[in-house]
């Protein structure tokens, strides 16, 4: 009976090696490239070569099948200690919740096992962090402190092919140059460091219930600059539930909690300064805004 091909190749190879050992100069043409020192098995055994890493895939592309991800990373501010659920149940399947988020460097991130979906772990593709063996126990926790900026892709190994994947984006919070604005808005996902200049208008408008912070939980623009005597009007989109406009501390803004599209609230700013406000129900999500009056 004919032996399996690998066995046969092994025998051929051994023969060649033995020959090489005696003759000292045998071409290994028939068996592929033999190692310089002719180890028997490695040259001819058809082992799988390590998969070469192909062209780096963009983060967005890699996340396109991440369960529970709507394409907009959640943003945590500098003082946050995010907790990520491991095994959240979404329409698409098991997920990390939130699956993708931004944090500043030095952030302590914790993953909490829900117990849903069986065995789970938290493993960075580049090896930066690894919770170790899979575990199905609710209450299991793992944490990692992110020191370096970068994009860290991770999976739960038993479910990586089913879309249970996520990413931690570590980057410095946006900077506008106004430290009060930057500090207050570090947590607002739609703040990119720019302050909209409305110093040339008598009325500036802000959308309440704009896209951001993981839903319709943003003010747009989150930061604006006006001159004294300018009226700012907030227009409700009617999305994201009830919103209000309330100053931080004892500032002048204090609207009703309103849900209807088309609602508006106005305030005319007479004094210079940097005014911070939020929607109280969604402040923790990052629904925050600022008005700089010059």
- Which residues are at the interface with Cu ion (CB under 5 A)? 243, 279, 282, 287
Minimum distance, C-beta of residue 285 to Cu ion, in the bound complex (Å)? 8
| DSSP E strand boundaries for the chain | 74-75, 83-90, 93-97, 100-103, 107-113, 123-124, 141-146, 150-155, 165-170, 196-197, 203-212, 215-220, 223-226, 230-236, 246-247, 264-269, 273-278, 288-293
Check the annotation: does 279 bind a ligand: yes
Check the annotation: does 287 bind a ligand: yes
Question: Which class for 255: exposed (0-12), middle (13-18), buried (19 or more C-beta within 10 A)?
Answer: buried
Minimum distance, C-beta of residue 173 to Cu ion, in the bound complex (Å)? 21
On whether the CB atoms of residues 291 and 228 are closer than 8 A, the answer is no
Task: Give me the residue whose beta carbon is nearest to Cu ion.
Answer: 279
Q: Can you read off the two tokens belonging to residue 63? A: 């996340």
Task: Decide whether 13 or 237 has the Cβ nearer to Cu ion.
Answer: 237
Task: Decide whether 161 or 266 has the Cβ nearer to Cu ion.
Answer: 266
Task: Decide whether 170 or 279 has the Cβ nearer to Cu ion.
Answer: 279
Task: Decide whether 82 or 241 has the Cβ nearer to Cu ion.
Answer: 241
- Match 């997920």 to its residue by tokens: 95
Minimum distance, C-beta of residue 246 to Cu ion, in the bound complex (Å)? 10
Q: Can you read off the two tokens belonging to residue 58? A: 């963009």
Task: Decide whether 159 or 282 has the Cβ nearer to Cu ion.
Answer: 282
Rounded CA separation 234/131 (Å): 46
Please choose, from the candidates 181, 184, 241, 185, the residue with its C-alpha nearest in 3D space to the C-alpha of residue 208: 241
On whether the CB atoms of residues 139 and 174 are closer than 8 A, the answer is no
Check the annotation: does 25 bind a ligand: no
Minimum distance, C-beta of residue 266 to Cu ion, in the bound complex (Å)? 18
On whether the CB atoms of residues 86 and 120 are closer than 8 A, the answer is yes
Minimum distance, C-beta of residue 291 to Cu ion, in the bound complex (Å)? 17
Task: Decide whether 152 or 277 has the Cβ nearer to Cu ion.
Answer: 277
Q: What angle do CA 244, 250, 255 make, to 5 degrees?
A: 20
Rounded CA separation 6/45 (Å): 6
Minimum distance, C-beta of residue 293 to Cu ion, in the bound complex (Å)? 23
Binding residues for Cu cation: 243, 279, 282, 287
């Amino acid at each position: 009976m004919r032996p399996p091909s690998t066995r046969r190749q092994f025998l051929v190879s051994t023969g060649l090696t033995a020959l090489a050992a005696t003759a000292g100069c045998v071409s290994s043409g028939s068996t592929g490239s033999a190692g310089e020192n002719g180890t028997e098995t490695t040259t001819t055994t058809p082992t799988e070569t390590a998969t070469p890493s192909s062209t780096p895939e963009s983060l967005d592309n890699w996340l396109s099948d991440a369960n529970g991800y709507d394409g907009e990373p959640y943003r945590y501010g500098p003082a946050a200690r995010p907790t990520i659920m491991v095994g959240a149940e979404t329409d698409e399947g098991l997920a990390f919740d939130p699956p993708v988020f931004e944090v500043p460097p030095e952030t302590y991130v914790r993953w909490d096992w829900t117990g849903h979906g069986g065995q789970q772990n938290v493993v960075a593709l580049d090896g930066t962090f690894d919770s170790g063996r899979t575990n199905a126990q609710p209450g299991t926790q793992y944490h990692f402190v992110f020191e370096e900026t970068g994009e860290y892709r991770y999976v739960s190994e038993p479910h990586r092919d089913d879309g249970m994947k996520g990413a931690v984006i570590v980057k410095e919070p946006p900077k506008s140059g106004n430290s009060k604005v930057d500090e207050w808005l570090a947590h607002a996902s739609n703040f990119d460091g720019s302050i909209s200049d409305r110093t040339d208008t008598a009325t500036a408008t802000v959308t309440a219930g704009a896209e951001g912070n993981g839903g319709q939980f943003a003010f747009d623009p989150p930061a604006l600059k006006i001159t004294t005597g300018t009226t700012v009007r907030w227009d409700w989109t009617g999305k994201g539930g009830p919103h209000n406009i309330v100053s931080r501390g004892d500032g002048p803004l204090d609207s009703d909690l309103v849900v209807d599209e088309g609602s508006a609230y106005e305030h005319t700013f007479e004094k210079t300064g940097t005014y911070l406000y939020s929607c109280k129900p969604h402040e923790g999500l990052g629904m925050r805004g600022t008005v700089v009056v010059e």
